[in-house]
A and B are shown apart, each in its own frame.
Chain A
């Protein structure tokens, strides 16, 4: 097979900047309101409401700081986005980030224990996702000090389209990699479906709202087959079939094809978009 293993370099979306700016502005806004309320209460309680004093206080303590902080933080988020890149190499993923201190985390796929994909309130507004990659232990894979937001080893905020990563990781490690150790190992064998199942797992977590409806169990029972028999004939572990029947994740097209073949039905009879 040709080895077109140029590493794939990705960046995060500009919506990340917008999202962080919005969060920041909301926070500053709340802070400003509470400060202003404090002034009002103070001025009223101290006997007279001196409008000029109130204006002065508001100007000095709220407006001017805001005018200074807002553009600086906007600049910072933009700079952070610019500094952020991830490189998908053959055996590991490298994450570069950091505005002042450049940091680089190198994570071998084999050491990935868990991948969490988070879509918070603000993420949902801008349709971005945050990927958190956890590895075993607390090895200092990233050089430099801990910075804001780096809890797990690997952290990629503001990801717009998971399919790009999915596809490139697949191209990179399809042949050589074993399923990541500790990551529900049984689900991700056999090797040729391991990667597909791995990515389907990630994608389903990202798309809780888009689950497929499945009739695997019915069709399996109609064919007088047990789940383990189906698993054996399709060539996947029992757990995969169980997870699919529970609707816990969406299969890849290839896996769906295999199941349809074994159960002698069409994919459409097996799965439907909710």
Chain B
């Protein structure tokens, strides 16, 4: 089992470092300001062409420095309050600590410490599906 990832970016920080507004960055790479907004929000998997153009604007940084992959589940868990996490953990039958660990471990540790059954229950309690958060 592996974590399913989504692509996030450091565009906002880089943009501020380079003193560019969203509109200015958008103009430089030939897209609309809305595109930049969605990119920064992280709800958007960009095409490679746009990614390269953005890298060009930021002095040809490597793509890995601008875009990084993060487990989908990490975002979801990070936005839950401690009480919600307690509640979910008890519903699944694990400790809250074990639930939180999911934001910190890698694929190997995932396989060692969590059963597929547990992960399915966790997914359900996060209003999601196993297939959205993990993959074979």
From the candidates A167, A192, A271, A273, name the one contacting B53 in the complex (CB within 8 A): A273
Number of interface residues of B (CB under 8 A): 31
Number of A-B contacts (CB under 8 A): 80
In the bound complex, do residue A253 and residue B34 qualify as a contact, i.e. CB atoms below 8 Å apart? Answer: no
For the residues of B in contact with A, the DSSP-based class is mixed
- Please measure, in the bound complex, the distance between the C-alpha atom of A196 and the C-alpha atom of B5, giving whole angstroms: 14
B18: Cβ under 8 A from any A Cβ: no
> Would you call the interface of chain A mostly helix, strand, loop, or mixed?
helix
Q: Which of A20-28, A40-48, A64-72, A157-165 contacts B (4 or more CB under 8 A)?
A: A157-165
Residues of A within 8 A of B103 (CB): none
Interface members, chain A 250-272 (any B CB < 8 Å):
250-254, 256-257, 266-268, 271-272
* The residue from B47, B52, B69, B135 contacting A200, defined by CB atoms under 8 A apart: B47
Chain A: CB-nearest residue to B50: A163
Asked whether, in the complex, the Cβ of B38 is within 8 Å of the Cβ of A273, the reply is no
- Report the Cα distance A192→B136, complex, angstroms: 13
Verify if A9 is at the interface (C-beta below 8 Å from B): no
Scan residues 1-58 of chain B and give those whose CB is less than 8 A from a CB of chain A.
Answer: 4-7, 31-32, 34-35, 38, 43-53, 56
B7 and A254 contacting across the interface, CB-CB below 8 Å? yes
Whether the pair A167, B132 counts as a contact (CB closer than 8 A) is no
Q: Provide the residues of chain A in CB contact with B46, threshold 8 Å.
A: 252-253
In the complex, what distance in Å separates the CA atom of A256 from the CA atom of B46? 11
A35 within 8 A of B: no
A residues neighboring B (CB under 8 Å):
1-2, 160-161, 163-164, 167, 170-171, 175, 192, 196, 199-200, 203, 207, 210, 212, 250-254, 256-257, 266-268, 271-273
